[in-house]
Structure 1
Amino acid sequence: MASLSGKAARTAPLVLVRTVQLPPRPPPENAMMRRSALLLFPVLFGLACGEDATAPSSAEEFQASSAALSAVFSGRVLDANNQPVVNARVTVNGISRFTNGTGAYSLSVTESPTGYVLDIRKDGYGPVNKLQMSGQLSQVYVLRKAYTQQISPTANTVIQDRVSGIRVDVLANTLRTATGGLPVGGVLFSIVPHGPDTMPGDFTARNALGQTVALETVGAVTLSAVDSQGTTLVLAAGATMNVRLPVPAALGGTMPACVLNGSCRTVMWRFNPSTGLWIEQSASPQFSTTATTFRLTGVRQGGIIDPLDGLGTWNTDIEKVNPSCSIIEFVNIPLSCYNPLGTTPEPGLTLHLSQTSSGNVLWTSTGTVRSSATYIAQYNLPSNAPLQLKVEFPADDCADNLTLSATPGPYTVTGNTISYNSGAPASGPGYPKDSAGNPIDFADVAVGDHTCSSHIYIEAHP
């Protein structure tokens, strides 16, 4: 999978700061004087990005972050029917708030040069987890509803989501509270499948050797269980749970040949919500032509995983040690092209990024970019791979005056679509850094102080 976000280092405990409104977007001629917005979106390799931050319109909204005077985060959390998700936990760099009766949240944290890990979760829904490089105001996130089944914690139970094909074998008396207590009453067990477009994080990971790597998914799932009092449950220490995880239909439903013949390193990973990293796990995966079967084992209490993460988010991933990155820059695009009717939130322009998986399946990630973004750092891409980007505006006259180009070439343009190459590997996985080792900003993009091999320009003309 590819990503547009990916810092892992966290800072010391954070304190609340004064809420400051973001400054207005300066005119295009002054764009070089400011730091650029950074956009995070999940693509096929890396990320991401799964997140499920899909706008209610149906396309996933990419996270456009503008350089903020303070790290302020606000918005609403909705379900797929545009109804508020109440009491969802929203966490940014360790500071948490819960959504109110309208699904709204607001919080602020101290500025962090390494970025902000935004995590949104509630039992019975798929989590959202994204790296942001600055505060985010008035965002809308949609949590996907889980497949749920009521079970008895004292009986062996097989749970299967017939839509995704994911199957979980729950053994009797293996579920516990985070403090080791027994569940109260019946248990509601939830399964949320993930494809490459709904993965939490940005496909940046840490393997068993401590190396930072990028990932390409061939199946992922979030599992959770709560008792009759709404207490999040975990797997008892030493207990086991078997899971069958099919290859997502979006990736063709067939395991890539390199996984089956062992030519690409493929293992199990568990997501850490606080860092936004996938961490390699010893889960005894077995691969077939259509699925992975693996085994969860309960860890002792007080482990490094947040107890509210419950049974966790698990991922069968191909390890990528030499990913590439690209810069997508927006040049001289007037505000009217993002928001022709002056509505709130603005409709923005839509990007469709297409690439090919290791299973030779063409996959497209679609998202919306707001006017606060001046460029996208697109990373954890397969190196030297063909990519295609299509641009759509809410106003036809903007599309009629669009120029697409890329350096270095060659590239081809057909209408509002540009085909280009991801280029040579970057200096490493994760969000791009400048020569000083800091996350890149617009000043770095302007002078080329980064290791991304390709640069795409989306430019509007009067």
Structure 2
Amino acid sequence: MRRSALLLLPALLGLGCGESGRVPDAPEELQVESSALSAVFSGTVLDSNRRPVPNARVTVNGIVLFTNSAGAYSVSVEGATAGYRIDIRKDGYGPVNQFKISGELNQVHVLGRAYIRQINPAVSNQIVDTVSGIRVEVLPNSLGTATGTPAKGTVVFSIAPHDPATMPGDFTARNSLGQTVALESVGAVTLSAVDSLGNTLTLLPGATMNVSLPVPASVGGTMPACVLNATCRTAMWRFTPSTGLWNEQSANAQFNTQGTSFRITGIRNSTIDPADGLGTWNADIEHTSPSCSIIEFVNIPLDCYNPPPGTTPEPGIELAFQQQLTSGAPWSKSAGVRSSASFIVLYNLRGNTPLDLSAEFPAGAPAYCAGNLSITSTPAPSAGFPVYWATGGATRYNTGAPAPTAGYPKDSSGNPIDFADVATGNHPCSSHIYLQTHP
């Protein structure tokens, strides 16, 4: 039985796939071994120019390690039926945070580079990332270490903008009423500051920081009308790396046609991870009734994922997804799915909304891969779908009724769904798509 783990997609789209084993030639100093440990994760951390990121902090279910000079890591952790939370971060970059339900090898994680500026923390600073348009006002003597020591000397301040493709987590959130909801971003940022000793800084208790956050061009560039007329609930949220949840914050958010302005306030006795620093913040539309889809792979030969003579890691089948956002703008994302995934899950989707799905076999795949492909779905596909071409195919379907709650779907026992649940229908998803090759 093959298992499933999670690879994140943006803006109300999440994807699951999985594998296990050990990466060849993994550096010994990054191995954590025990006869009781059973899930293995390995990968390489790169920057947006595909260069290795050494000394990135990798946390898997509370186990912390750092990438080596090649940006590589490998770690084994105790098996967990509730799944695994992987968090990867380094000051000066945007973080990556993913949920998986099994071990996975040879992953590639990309940390987006931040806009960086050196500042004097004793004076007022206006910091503007001219590319993203994000503005931050750092007031005098507002920054300090996690122990409360005020920052001195030169501080390196970073602004890492996010569009939905680079957001940490899977847009699952907890609002001020304690409800689990899904989010749709209209602007997000990771802020960090580091002193000359390498200490990650935060706001001192009672200190404030003002932020102006434009709506990213990738989600339309202007604020959806429902935010401005208050017909959709919109708030500020801060990401919690250990849980993968966005938590609603009281941040004096003001929304306008171009973006959001908000205020961060330092708090006493904070339970926030000190390594999270100033945090990742998100202006989001709340969705209380998202849906989910199962995409199942049936009888697809290994050659269709990894054409001869084969490579490691295998290229996999490229899946592309597109769904319309609240603003009316389309959002799309593609990701490779390897042969170890018997199914994937899309979740935190907009319910009862059309979604386009396409599958493209890798270069060099035998002609019979696409030639024998069929794509079927429940509910039935939209008129004119599915369609096929020489290297793949596509369908359009309705995502269906909402699931009972946001986040990765659970079975009747309260555990993340696995292949046995998919086979028996023990899941809450209303739509099911089959990608199959016929002899």
TM-score of the pair, normalised by structure 2: 0.92
**Aligned counterpart in structure 2 of residue 234 of structure 1, from 202, 221, 229:** 202
Does 2:214 match 1:243?
no
Aligned to 1:299: 267
1:46–1:216 CA contact under 8 A, matched in 2: no
> How far 1:414 moved relative to its partner?
2.1
1:46–1:215 CA contact under 8 A, matched in 2: no
Taking the aligned partners of 2:434 and 2:408, their CA distance within structure 1 comes to 19
Aligned to 2:287: 320
Does 2:176 match 1:203?
no
* AA aligned opposite 2:17: A
Taking the aligned partners of 1:135 and 1:426, their CA distance within structure 2 comes to 26
Taking the aligned partners of 1:46 and 1:259, their CA distance within structure 2 comes to 21
* AA aligned opposite 2:297: F
1:35–1:443 CA contact under 8 A, matched in 2: no
Q: In terms of mean alpha carbon deviation, does 152-161 or 435-444 score higher?
A: 435-444
1:38–1:374 CA contact under 8 A, matched in 2: no
**Aligned counterpart in structure 1 of residue 18 of structure 2, from 45, 65, 75:** 65
Does 2:410 match 1:433?
yes
Aligned to 1:176: 144
Aligned to 1:31: none
Aligned to 2:370: 399
* AA aligned opposite 1:378: L
* AA aligned opposite 2:378: T
Give the aligned length.
414
Aligned to 1:37: 4
> How far 1:184 moved relative to its partner?
3.8
Aligned to 1:421: 398
Aligned to 1:11: none
Taking the aligned partners of 2:330 and 2:267, their CA distance within structure 1 comes to 38
Q: Aligned ranges for residues 349-360 of structure 1 at < 5 Å?
A: 349-360=317-328
Q: Aligned ranges for residues 66-145 of structure 1 at < 5 Å?
A: 66=19, 70-145=38-113
SS of corresponding position for 2:423: helix
Cα offsets for 1:284-332 (capped at 9, x unmatched): 11000110000000111x4121001000000001111111000011111
Taking the aligned partners of 1:37 and 1:276, their CA distance within structure 2 comes to 18
Taking the aligned partners of 1:213 and 1:241, their CA distance within structure 2 comes to 27
> How far 1:171 moved relative to its partner?
0.6
> How far 1:443 moved relative to its partner?
0.8
SS of corresponding position for 1:368: strand
Taking the aligned partners of 1:304 and 1:320, their CA distance within structure 2 comes to 27
**Aligned counterpart in structure 1 of residue 236 of structure 2, from 268, 277, 280:** 268
Taking the aligned partners of 2:187 and 2:311, their CA distance within structure 1 comes to 38
> How far 1:83 moved relative to its partner?
2.1
Query: Could you say which structure has the greater relative contact order, defined with CA pairs below 8 angstroms and 6 or more residues apart?
Result: 1
Does 2:300 match 1:333?
yes
SS of corresponding position for 1:314: strand
Cα offsets for 1:119-161 (capped at 9, x unmatched): 0000001100000101122212121111111111111111111
Does 2:418 match 1:451?
no
SS of corresponding position for 1:197: helix
* AA aligned opposite 2:411: D
1:324–1:379 CA contact under 8 A, matched in 2: yes
**Aligned counterpart in structure 2 of residue 278 of structure 1, from 238, 246, 251:** 246
1:39–1:375 CA contact under 8 A, matched in 2: no
* AA aligned opposite 2:194: V
Aligned to 1:379: 347
Give the direction of change, closer, same or farther, for the CA distance of 1:198–1:166 in structure 2 (3 Å limit). Answer: same
SS of corresponding position for 2:228: helix
* AA aligned opposite 2:406: P
Does 2:221 match 1:253?
yes
* AA aligned opposite 2:386: V
Give the direction of change, closer, same or farther, for the CA distance of 1:291–1:319 in structure 2 (3 Å limit). Answer: same
Taking the aligned partners of 1:185 and 1:270, their CA distance within structure 2 comes to 28
* AA aligned opposite 1:414: V
1:46–1:214 CA contact under 8 A, matched in 2: no
Query: Is there any run of 5+ residues in structure 1 with no aligned partner, and where?
Result: 1-33, 48-61
* AA aligned opposite 1:401: N
> How far 1:396 moved relative to its partner?
5.9
Taking the aligned partners of 1:218 and 1:192, their CA distance within structure 2 comes to 15
**Root-mean-square deviation (Å):** 1.4
1:43–1:353 CA contact under 8 A, matched in 2: no
Taking the aligned partners of 2:237 and 2:85, their CA distance within structure 1 comes to 19
SS of corresponding position for 1:65: coil
Cα offsets for 1:326-350 (capped at 9, x unmatched): 0011111111111103111111111
1:42–1:197 CA contact under 8 A, matched in 2: yes
2:20–2:104 CA contact under 8 A, matched in 1: no
SS of corresponding position for 2:411: coil
Cα offsets for 1:414-455 (capped at 9, x unmatched): 221100000001111111111222211101101111110000
Runs of 4+ in 1 over 3 A off after TM superposition: 66-69
> How far 1:222 moved relative to its partner?
0.4
Give the direction of change, closer, same or farther, for the CA distance of 1:275–1:39 in structure 2 (3 Å limit). Answer: closer
**Aligned counterpart in structure 1 of residue 132 of structure 2, from 161, 164, 169:** 164
Query: Is there any run of 5+ residues in structure 2 with no aligned partner, and where?
Result: 22-36
> How far 1:36 moved relative to its partner?
3.0
* AA aligned opposite 1:383: G
TM-score of the pair, normalised by structure 1: 0.87
Aligned to 1:213: 181
Taking the aligned partners of 1:247 and 1:446, their CA distance within structure 2 comes to 41
> How far 1:74 moved relative to its partner?
1.4
Taking the aligned partners of 2:16 and 2:277, their CA distance within structure 1 comes to 26
- Among all aligned residue pairs of Structure 1 and Structure 2, give the percentage whose two residues are the same amino acid: 63
Aligned to 2:26: none
